[in-house]
Structure 1
Amino acid sequence: MTLTGSRGNSVPQDEPRKDVVIAGRYRLGKRLGRGGMGTVWRASDELLGRAVAVKELHVGEGKEAAGALREARTVAQIKHPHVVVVHDVVEDDGRHYIVMELVEGGSLADRLGADGPLDTGETARVGLALLGALGAAHERGVLHRDVKPANVLMEAGTGRVVLTDFGIARLAGSTTISETGAFVGSPEYTSPERMQGAAAGPASDLWSLGALLCAALTGESPFHRDSLGGVLHAVVQDEIRPPAQAGPLAPLVRGLLERDTERRLGAAEAQRMLSAYVTTGSLPLLGSAPAPAPGRPAVPAPVGWSPTERATAQTGPAAAPEPRAGLRAGLVAALVVVAVVGAVAVTSLLSRPAGGGRDTAQDDRPGRAPATATSAPRPPAASPVTATATATATATTTVTAPPPAPPAPPASAGKPAPAGYRRVADPAGFGLAVPQDFQRTTDDQRVFYVSPDGAFRIGIKVTPASPGGPLAAMRRSDANGPSNNPGYRANTIVPTTHDGLPAALWEFTWNGFSPAEGARHTYDLCWDENGRMYDVWVSAPVGRLTEARAHFDTALDSFTPGG
């Protein structure tokens, strides 16, 4: 398949661009990848002395170029920890560039290819991160339109999930920075309404997320077929069955893959379900969220759900409803479009090498915000440069490059770390001492430092001061304990102080994440300081509480707000 640039212009041939300086500050280095929308280079920002990724856009002149840069600048306004950071948008010698953060690590597609499918906990963690990223984009009126494993980066050493390649993103009500009149995106992850030529909306990105979650659980999209026509038929008309590997996540997957956009699971409900699963290991009842505000209609459950699914939200694979007649007609129209166009424009994965560690920090405290998954972390692997071409209906090209060794966390001017620990100045705005081999990970609200085997989890959360103070906050969390944590027991809350400030200490035991691991115990202290509530906890198997208490005491003794 021929890759095309804007308005069908051929993508420029390879050029020796290494060591070229653009905009007076960005020195281009190794080419990381290329596709229909642009070429990505590893580069050095000589003004700030940092490594960046520079994407050279393949656009024409005049209005087309102006529109591309306008939309790129809008994408740059999206600020979210799971969206790739855009540092700059520049023009140099008639060429247009987007300067982005350089995420050292492979894509989710790389991860699946190297290590196989993810478990449900890790899949839920990835899904939760992507929901946050998409929500931030949608709030700005930006649709991604190409959510797929190749466009999800897994940062080496931290496991941070990053949504990238907004190259075919569209502003609501505007044209796209990709070529006019051609289909853009990856058909295996494209919603049926887009296949039919209908206007895309935020719900279209949620469909793509549902397909991505299936791919994470099985290794490939549920709509993968041997031909483009087969893919279109699968998306628009074939029966949809959540994969067996989805297990307890099957109701969520089915809700996202609802063909009727009016009935498709919304972002808020999907986030609620994933948050609960990541935190407690079980999916809440569908529709068990608080009643909608007066005057706002309740969102119906997806069609085709059995009474058992509606009542328990714990199913295996089940059949999706028959598509409506309009969708069948749309399939014919979509196939005609394919016959006329003759090719589907594709975008490239402009990613970094696989080998980033898996996040392991799952919070086992009830009533808390979303946490991360439970599989054990692994140190980043130093892999040679690899290039992989995927000859599927998405015609994706992947080029990866080896990462440098991850930098050590910056030292803090705070209290020194005892033997066997290192002091970290966390980007979230605090400092503490953690064991030498613990790795940092995070979700949308909290930071974790996790042992290599996943047994020990040091968690930190910083929020505005809570009504009623630390004691009231702990009591609210304790009240949710029995409903959120199986076997919740041995729970105590004690008012105390931390560095002379009012604090509350909460302890509890529960059945743990799996029978193999057994019961876990958590020590949790929170206190108010300068208008903020700091919450620090350590959880571990009940057979290793001596070590857990040592980590807990060290974290508290060394903790300093602001690093």
Structure 2
Amino acid sequence: MGEGAEPPAPGRRPPSPHRGPVLLVVLAVVLIGGIGVGTWHLLSDGGDDTANESSGPSATASGWDSGSPSPSDDVPSSGQPSAAPSGSAVAGSGPPQGYQRTADPEGFTLDVPVGWQRVKRDTGVFYESSDASRLLQVFALTSPQVTPYEALKQAETSLKKNPGYKRYGLKRLGPADDADAELQYGYRSEKYGPRRVVDRAFTGPDGVQYAVLVAGPSDEWPRQVERQRVALGAFCPTAYCPAG
């Protein structure tokens, strides 16, 4: 979500073009493969810090604890939101300079920085810089009852336990209740120092809900937003990626 993973996330499963609706970060069903199990791990700080950046609401036997947030909970984000997530890859278009298009074995395609290494964990698929201080995490969760906004809202319950946690923005990226949502936050990692994170929750064209999270040093902000924008610009479940 490697980096100090955030609090454990409720049951997650790897994205699959044949999966039914799945909810990221805040849903409670067990995932099918390995993209994540437990609470929504929004992020991972690898090493001794692996639990710091993931997040997720606590799950109960019957599913996630819920609680509908009201519009007043929205806080303006700092920095521009990333480009449209799923279904946005353009046939024939290539990755921007410094990035490479990657067809991940878990069933999705996206653009990641050149030289970043793939790491598979229970909390999802990670692409990390050589020292793991910068990362991109992708995961999916099960259960369609919670909207992307509610999932991120609930995820904060765990994130707030991180030292120096601060929310910079939490908002829906559209008028509908089930619109994409984005959370921007910061905290202090014991291993890496001040961190800034941007996490997008959205529903893919396959009906699966995904989370794409990018983290890095606070003093690099808003590079995290740019990396997420590039990743989302090419993101698509494998069976739905355009030809060419």
Does residue 1:519 correspond to 2:194, yes or no?
A: yes
**Counterpart position of 2:11:** none
1:476 is the counterpart of 2:146: no
Note the 1:148-547 alignment, pairs <5 A.
Answer: 364-367=53-56, 415-483=93-161, 485-497=162-174, 502-514=179-191, 517-529=192-204, 530-547=206-223
Q: Which residue of 2 aligns with 1:561?
A: 237
Deviation at 1:418, TM superposition (A): 0.7
Aligned residues: 169
CA contact (8 A) 1:540 1:548 kept: yes
Identity of aligned residues (%): 27
- The answer to whether the 8 Å contact 1:361/1:448 transfers is no
Deviation at 1:415, TM superposition (A): 4.7
Cα deviation 1:69-103 (Å, max 9, x = unaligned): xxxxxxxxxxxxxxxxxxxxxxxxxxxxxxxxxxx
Matches within 5 A, 1:124-135: none
Partner Cα distance (2:99, 2:200) in 1: 20
Describe how 1:82-161 pairs up with structure 2 within 5 A: none
| Rg larger in structure | 1
Q: Which amino acid aligns with 2:198?
A: Y
Letter in 1 for 2:182: L
Are 1:489 and 1:509, in contact at CA under 8 Å, matched by a contact in 2? yes
User: In structure 2, what is the Cα distance between the partners aligned to 1:414 and 1:479?
Assistant: 42
Q: Counterpart amino acid of 1:541? A: P
SS in 2 for 1:475: helix
Are 2:238 and 1:549 aligned? Answer: no
User: Which structure's residues are more often strand, by fraction?
Assistant: 2
Q: Give the alignment's Cα RMSD to 1 decimal.
A: 3.6
The AA in structure 2 aligned to 1:544 is E
Which one-letter code corresponds to 2:122 in the other structure?
D
Counterpart-to-counterpart distance in 1, 2:137 and 2:109: 13
Higher relative contact order, chain-length normalized (CA < 8 Å, sep 6+): 2
Q: Are the structure 2 counterparts of residues 445 and 415 from structure 1 closer, same or farther at C-alpha, using a change threshold of 3 Å?
A: farther
What are the Cα deviations for residues 245-271 of structure 1, in whole angstroms up to 9, with x where unaligned? xxxxxxxxxxxxxxxxxxxxxxxxxx9
Where structure 1 has 5 or more consecutive residues not aligned to the other structure, the ranges are: 1-120, 126-270, 282-357, 370-411
Query: Residue 414 of structure 1 contacts residue 558 of structure 1 at CA under 8 Å; is this kept in 2?
Result: no
Q: Verify the 8 A CA contact 1:361 1:454 in the aligned structure 2.
A: no
Distance in 1, Cα, partners of 2:219 & 2:168: 17
- Higher helix fraction: Structure 1 or Structure 2? 1
Q: 1:547 to 1:490 in 2, by over 3 A?
A: same
**DSSP-derived class of the 1:509 partner:** strand
Task: Give the 3-state SS of the residue equivalent to 2:173 in structure 1.
Answer: strand
Q: Deviations over 1:152-197 (max 9, x none)?
A: xxxxxxxxxxxxxxxxxxxxxxxxxxxxxxxxxxxxxxxxxxxxxx
Paired residues of 1:279 and 1:365 also in contact (CA < 8 A): yes
Cα pair 1:511 1:519 within 8 Å, conserved:
yes
Give the Cα separation in 2 of the matches to 1:280 and 1:428: 21
Q: Secondary structure at the match of 1:480?
A: helix
Residues 465-497 of structure 1: CA deviation (Å, up to 9, x unaligned): 5422101111110122222x1211134210014
Cα distance in structure 1, aligned partners of 2:111 and 2:92: 10
The residue type equivalent to 1:520 in the other structure is R
TM-score by length of 2: 0.59
Maintained 8 Å contact 2:56/2:158: yes
Residues 216-254 of structure 1: CA distance to partner in whole angstroms, max 9, x if unpaired?
xxxxxxxxxxxxxxxxxxxxxxxxxxxxxxxxxxxxxxx
